[in-house]
A and B are shown apart, each in its own frame.
Chain A
């Protein structure tokens, strides 16, 4: 199925290591409102990509920053 572009949120983070990734993985994997997510650790901005029909950027930022990571929405 074609991904609905309107349900994709993109963030720049300071999540750099596999260890960091593990921490957020637990939260994002178990969140029923997140259909799919991934993070590009190779990228300078460590881009976090979230597919969700219901969550908005502010809610995602809250989840990530509560773990003491930086997270800001990247806009087009």
Chain B
């Protein structure tokens, strides 16, 4: 009788994320994953019907965890400044604690898997953020811009800083660590740009 071995499943998921980041989607193979996870190919195919199924499920799981973290201590009724600050904190914390997941997420959401992954993981958070956005505009705390412009201005600077931190280097080649002071400085500029 076969049973679900959740310990083994976790190892497979972790290895899959590592391999996807290392090899890219094209270079990722089920055989290699089985080998690296020290399980048989048969066991892997019992968990996942094929590579597509695996990539999609891994993506959806990362997405669900990511958006659950984003929603932590956040409410759409917060003032714009308070709410955006919380989003920054949540994004920084998740990225620092889950560097591989974030790289994998970036990879998958810029691939052909993007739509099916987001469809399954973004749902609730999309509604929450939509309400937050609408409230902020109504309260005249946010300039009415398109969602794409909002996202780019609100989070673009943050993700650029997080990339500096991931690479550990500043422009001069010296070490870079995202400090509270740097975060605050960037946050204030973002706020200035988005506030009427």
**Footprint of B on A, CB under 8 Å?**
5-6, 8, 10, 12, 38-40, 42-45, 47, 49, 73-76
Among the stretches B40-48, B61-69, B138-146, B148-156, the one at the interface with A is B40-48
CB-based contact B51/A5 at 8 Å: no
Q: What are 30 pairs between A and B in contact, CB < 8 Å? A: A5-B2, A5-B3, A5-B4, A10-B42, A10-B45, A10-B46, A12-B41, A38-B50, A40-B30, A40-B49, A40-B50, A40-B51, A42-B29, A42-B51, A43-B29, A43-B30, A43-B31, A43-B50, A44-B29, A45-B41, A47-B41, A47-B45, A73-B42, A74-B40, A74-B42, A75-B40, A75-B42, A76-B39, A76-B40, A76-B42
Tell me the bound Cα distance from A12 to B31 in angstroms: 12
Fill in one digit per residue for B135-172: 1 if any A CB lies within 8 Å of its CB, else 0. Answer: 00000000000000000000000000000000000000
CB-based contact B2/A6 at 8 Å: yes
Beyond the given A5-B2, A43-B30, A43-B41, please list 16 additional residue pairs across the A-B interface where CB-CB is below 8 A.
A8-B2, A8-B45, A8-B46, A10-B41, A10-B42, A10-B46, A12-B41, A43-B51, A45-B31, A47-B30, A47-B50, A74-B40, A74-B45, A75-B40, A75-B42, A76-B42
A73: chain B residues at CB < 8 Å are 42
A47: chain B residues at CB < 8 Å are 30, 41, 45, 50
**Footprint of A on B, CB under 8 Å?**
1-4, 29-31, 39-43, 45-46, 49-51
Tell me the bound Cα distance from A44 to B51 in angstroms: 12
Tell me the bound Cα distance from A49 to B53 in angstroms: 13
CB-based contact A76/B29 at 8 Å: no
Q: Write the nearest CB–CB distance from A39 to chain B, whole angstroms.
A: 8
Q: Write the nearest CB–CB distance from B73 to chain A, whole angstroms.
A: 33
A5: chain B residues at CB < 8 Å are 2-4, 46
Name A38's contact: one of B39, B40, B42, B49 (CB within 8 Å): B49
The 10 A-B pairs of least Cβ separation, nearest first, read A74-B42, A40-B50, A10-B42, A5-B2, A10-B45, A76-B43, A76-B40, A76-B42, A8-B46, A38-B49
Q: Write the nearest CB–CB distance from A12 to chain B, whole angstroms.
A: 8
Closest A residue to B31 using CB positions? A44
Chain A CB within 10 A, most for which of B1, B41, B51: B41
A10: chain B residues at CB < 8 Å are 41-42, 45-46
Closest B residue to A74 using CB positions? B42
Tell me the bound Cα distance from A12 to B46 in angstroms: 13
